[in-house]
Amino acid sequence: MTVYDTSDHQKGLIKNIAIVSTGGTIEMLPGHGGLDIADDHNPLPIKGEVIPPGVNVEHIRFCSIPSPEITPEIMAQLCLKLEEMTSSGKYNGIVVTHGTDTLEETAFLADIYLKGTVPVVFTAAMRSQAEMGVDGPRNVRGALLTAANNEVHKLGVTVVLNDEIHSAGRVTKTYTSNVSSFTSPGYGPLGFVDQDRVLLQRRPMWKIQLPESKLKLNQKVGLVRIASGLGAREIRYSVDCGDDAIIVEALGRGNVPPDVSEAVQYAIERGTIVCITSRCYIGRVLGVYNYTGGGADLEQKGAILAGDMQGHKLRLLMMASLGIGMTAENIRRMLKRL
Ligand code: ASP
C-alpha cells in the first residue's frame, strides 16, 4: 500500500533530503566476536523501498563510528555542519543517522542550537542488518517521510524510531535492546509514521534555545549522580580538577545527603556553577525541603534548580552556554524557565 500524504508529491514536487550518517549499529555487521562498523561495505539502508516516492536522497558521510565515541566536540562539529546545510537552500530536510547510545545528546545539542526552517530528523537502529527483525530500514524510511513533511520544522529537531516522532528535548533511550527503546517519559511522542503518512499530534509550547552565537563548547563541565552515601567526594574532585560548572543529578525533588550539601557549598564558594536536576526520570526539581541537603537549602547556597531536564542533556546545555560566553546570571535566568 502506498498512501503518501504530502501534497507536494501529488503535485509532482520532489523533496531533496540529505542523509548525514555518523555510524552506530545501523552501519554495523557481525565481525570477530561481535558487531562492529563494517569496513568495506557500508550497509546503511538507503536503497529501494526505504526511499519514499517523491524523495531524492543525497548521502553525506560525516563519520562512521560507534556512538560512545562521539564526543561533545564531534557533536558540535556536526551541529555546525547541519547549520551550514540547513542554510544552504539545497535541502528540504535532513536525516541524521546515529548510534543509539548517545543519539539523544547529539539531537538535543542540535535542537538548542539550530533555528532554521528545514526539518532535522535523527534516526538509528537498535538491531544490525544481520539480525532478525532489523529496524534500521523502516526507521530511515520513517525519518525520510518526517523530514519531507512541511510542518515538522515547527517541532524543532525530532527523533524518529519505531514509527514514533519524538522531540529531541524529551526523548531518551529507555531500553538497552528493544526496538521500542526511544520514548519521551512524561510527555509522549509528538506524532507517528503510519505506513506512508506522517501524523503530527502535538507541538511543544516552547523549547530551550541558545542565544544567537556560533556554537562553541566549554569542556569543563562535570556531571555527578547522587546515590546513598555517594556524591560529595565526586563534586569536590570535579571542583579541584577546575570544572567551571557541575551538574548534580540529585535525589527525588532535588535533594542530596548533608555531606553533598557541604560539597555544593565548597563548589559555589570557589566560583563553580552548580546546577541541580533529578535522577528521577519524570518531574521537576523544586526547593520544597529545607533540611540540610534539601532543594531549598541548595538553592540558598547558590545552586540553580533546573526543572526536569536530564543531567546529560543539561551538561551539554551548560557546556554550550558557557562556551558561547553566557554569564552565570544569564544561565541562571535561562535555566529558571525549565
Ligand atoms: N552501541 C551502538 C552505538 O550507539 C548502539 C546503537 O547504535 O544502537 O553506536
Q: How far apart are CA 56 and CA 334, in angstroms?
A: 39
Helix (H) or strand (E) holding 273: strand 273-278
Q: How far apart are CA 205 and CA 314, in angstroms?
A: 19
For helices 103-113 and 311-323, the axis angle rounded to 10 degrees is 40
Q: Residues 221-231, buried b or exposed e (16+ Cβ, 10 A)?
A: bbbbebeeeeb
Closest among 226, 146, 135 to 175, alpha carbons compared: 135
Q: Is the pTM of this model over 0.85?
A: yes
Tell which CATH architecture fits domain 2-200.
3-Layer(aba) Sandwich (3.40)
What is the whole-number distance in angstroms between the Cα of residue 176 and the centre of ligand 1?
10
pLDDT tens, N- to C-terminus, the chain (338 residues): 333 455 556 667 899 999 999 999 999 988 888 998 877 666 788 889 999 999 999 999 999 999 999 999 999 999 999 999 999 999 999 999 999 999 999 999 999 999 978 999 999 999 998 999 999 999 999 999 999 999 999 999 999 999 999 999 999 999 999 999 999 999 999 999 999 999 999 999 989 999 999 999 999 999 999 999 999 999 999 999 999 999 999 999 999 999 999 999 999 999 999 999 999 999 999 999 999 999 999 999 999 999 999 999 999 999 999 999 999 999 999 998 88
Which residue is listed with cell 509528538? 190
221-336 adopts what CATH topology? Rossmann fold (3.40.50)
What residues are in contact with ligand 1 under a 6 Å CB criterion? 24-25, 66-67, 99-101, 124, 126
For helices 103-113 and 72-86, the axis angle rounded to 10 degrees is 50
Domain with CATH 3.40.50.1170 in the chain: 2-200
Domain with CATH 3.40.50.40 in the chain: 221-336
What is the whole-number distance in angstroms between the Cα of residue 62 and the centre of ligand 1?
16
Sign of the alpha-carbon torsion through 247, 252, 256, 257: negative
